[in-house]
Amino acid sequence: MKVTVDEDRCCGAGQCVMLAPDVFDQREEDGVVVLLDPSPPGELAPDVESAAAMCPAEAIELSR
């Protein structure tokens, strides 16, 4: 799985960080998403998929 984020679309809700903290973080100054792992291991796939689905700004894109 490949993960990309659109920082310009991110609204800083932080749901991705709560759902997949090994893959996503947030910048201190404005809460915008920080992608920690653009190719997370397979066992994290369900959490990453949930994070992408729950993103209110649709700022997370997944590809295989």
Options 1.10.10.10, 3.40.630.30, 3.30.70.1520, 3.30.70.20; which CATH number does 2-63 get?
Answer: 3.30.70.20
| The predicted structure's pLDDT at residue 49 | 98
Burial class (CB in 10 A: 0-12, 13-18, 19+), 43: exposed
Q: How much is the pTM? A: 0.95
How does pLDDT run along the chain (64 residues), one tens digit per residue? 999 999 999 999 999 999 999 999 999 999 999 999 999 999 999 999 999 999 999 999 999 8
* Residue whose pair of structure tokens reads 């653009």 in the numeric block: 38
Give me the pLDDT at residue 8, please. Answer: 97
